[in-house]
Amino acid sequence: MLKRVPVSQLRIGMYIHELCGSWLDHSFWRQRFLIQQDSHLSRLRDSKLEWVWIDTDRGLDVEDQAQPMARAVGRRDGGRAQDADAAGPADEVHQAYERARGVRDASGDVVAQMFSDAQLGRRLDVQQAERLAQDVAGSIDEHPDALLSLARIKRADQYTYMHSVAVAALMASLARELGHSEEQVRLAGMAGLLHDIGKVGIPEKILNKPGRLTDEEFAIVRRHPVEGAAMLREEPGIPPEVLDVCLHHHERIDGRGYPDGLAGEQISLLARMGAICDVYDAITSNRPYKKGWDPAFSLGKMAEWTGQFDEDILAAFVRALGRFPVGSILSLTSGELAVVVAQNRDAPDAPVAKVFYSNRLCQYTAERRIDLSAPGCDIRIVPAVKPVDWAQSGLNLPSVVG
């Protein structure tokens, strides 16, 4: 049962169903979670929130006196199995997804906390960001698609945090593809986590505005790299490369970007990587006012935008994600549609996909996974004359992490 309770009555073992307030009022990126530790409680009490909804079927009730954790955790696990984005097929894949889910949740929390700290003028926990960047890199190494697929899922109220996590995962993947050292991969991930920290100064109504921004609003948005860099400059532990990505991830190779109008190699390698990862995640993400573009379609579009990106790095990005990245819709020679759920590194044109729709019958089918690179598989991808943006087609897509 859902109950609206004051924050002062919350205890460890209660399950938060919804935080009643704007994302600027608190430092959690998740709306739903089990209160497991004192730090959760103190962050709730330190926030501007006064009320929350709790779910008494998944955690303690206000009246419950019983020892909370065993019961609450048990219920939480039970609820998890029903999550729409529950994990992958085989055991090891399942475990990799579970670990990636942990990295995603922890990263989302840390980014949310850093936004909150920045807003209050507090010190950022740089070491925690460094540790998480390490975990992001580790997750990408273990299963390159797990974190990338999980970070694609974004709710409106957590967009800015999860966009940062997604850019971190994309940056780490791209750095790996470019053969960077461990240290550089970690720096790339950290730069992804922090690149938009300057957005903390942008009013929410501008950040989430459904329509076109006015010139005045656009000018406010364009300040975030400079403001973010100014914040990071105050932090003694921030590596200069991370600060540079924050300042220059909106520069363009042709010099028409901002804030400094740098061109070509005046823009650092990491900032050129940041520009690609940032735009890719932004255009492929659903927002309240637009559906995200299909990932494969997006790569095609980005390749057409001459002058915006470093072409060599974009080519490496396509190699890292595959020509049909996770979440792309494929039209198959079997007359069906499928969504890509994993890459085959040795066969970039033949990923693993989940069939979900019959073009012949014009109806959804029972979902089934196919590995297009498997020796006996005679189903092929139908090459599109023009890239098709399936995201705009109105199809209900199955989960890419199930």
Please list every residue from 241 through 260 that binds Fe ion, using CB under 5 A: none
Min dist CB 171 to Fe ion, Å, is 11
Nearer to Fe ion, 20 or 156 (CB): 156
Cis peptide before 203 (omega within 30 of 0): no
Q: What is the pattern of x (binds Fe ion, CB under 5 A) and - over residues 259-278?
A: -------------------x
- DSSP secondary structure letter of residue 97: H
Count of beta carbons in the 10 Å neighbourhood of residue 4:
11
Query: Edge to edge, what strands does the sheet with 352-358 contain?
Result: 329-331, 336-342, 352-358, 363-371
Q: What is the pattern of x (binds Fe ion, CB under 5 A) and - over residues 277-296?
A: -x------------------
Nearer to Fe ion, 88 or 257 (CB): 257
Nearer to Fe ion, 130 or 278 (CB): 278
CA distances from 341 to 38, 110, 315 (A): 37, 27, 21
**Angle at CA of residue 300, ends 297 and 304, nearest 5°:** 135
Across-strand partners of 51? 6
CA distances from 200 to 27, 32, 121, 207, 282 (A): 12, 22, 11, 10, 17
* Number of amino acids touching Fe ion (CB under 5 A): 2
Nearer to Fe ion, 251 or 336 (CB): 251
Min dist CB 163 to Fe ion, Å, is 6
Query: Residue written as tokens 């600027």?
Result: 24
Nearer to Fe ion, 96 or 167 (CB): 167
Q: Which of 174, 166, 197, 203 is nearest to 286 (CA)?
A: 166
Nearer to Fe ion, 194 or 341 (CB): 194
DSSP letters of 256-282? --SSS---GGGS-HHHHHHHHHHHHHH
Burial class, 398, CB count within 10 angstroms (exposed 0-12 / middle 13-18 / buried 19+): middle
Min dist CB 246 to Fe ion, Å, is 8
Min dist CB 92 to Fe ion, Å, is 32
Min dist CB 198 to Fe ion, Å, is 8
- Please state the length of the chain: 402
Token pair of 99 as six digits: 């670990």
Residue 302, phi then psi, degrees to nearest 5: -60, -35
Nearer to Fe ion, 196 or 244 (CB): 196
Token pair of 289 as six digits: 């006012």
Q: Interface with Fe ion includes 196 (CB under 5 A)? A: yes
Min dist CB 136 to Fe ion, Å, is 16
Rounded Cα gap, residues 316 and 148, in angstroms: 16
Query: Residue written as tokens 């020679």?
Result: 333
Mark the segment that binds Fe ion (CB under 5 A) among 43-51, 66-74, 196-204, 215-223.
196-204
Min dist CB 383 to Fe ion, Å, is 32
Rounded Cα gap, residues 174 and 314, in angstroms: 9
Mark the segment that binds Fe ion (CB under 5 A) among 27-35, 139-147, 191-199, 331-339.
191-199
Mark the segment that binds Fe ion (CB under 5 A) among 132-140, 195-203, 290-298, 311-319.
195-203
At residue 214, the 3 state secondary structure works out as coil
Nearer to Fe ion, 10 or 229 (CB): 229
Cis peptide before 259 (omega within 30 of 0): yes
Nearer to Fe ion, 196 or 241 (CB): 196
Mark the segment that binds Fe ion (CB under 5 A) among 41-49, 122-130, 147-155, 188-196.
188-196
Q: What is the pattern of x (binds Fe ion, CB under 5 A) and - over residues 131-170?
A: ----------------------------------------
Q: What is the number of alpha carbons within 13 Å of residue 293 lying toward its C-beta?
A: 17
Min dist CB 174 to Fe ion, Å, is 15
Min dist CB 167 to Fe ion, Å, is 6
Min dist CB 153 to Fe ion, Å, is 17
Nearer to Fe ion, 196 or 251 (CB): 196
Binding site for Fe ion (CB under 5 A): 196, 278
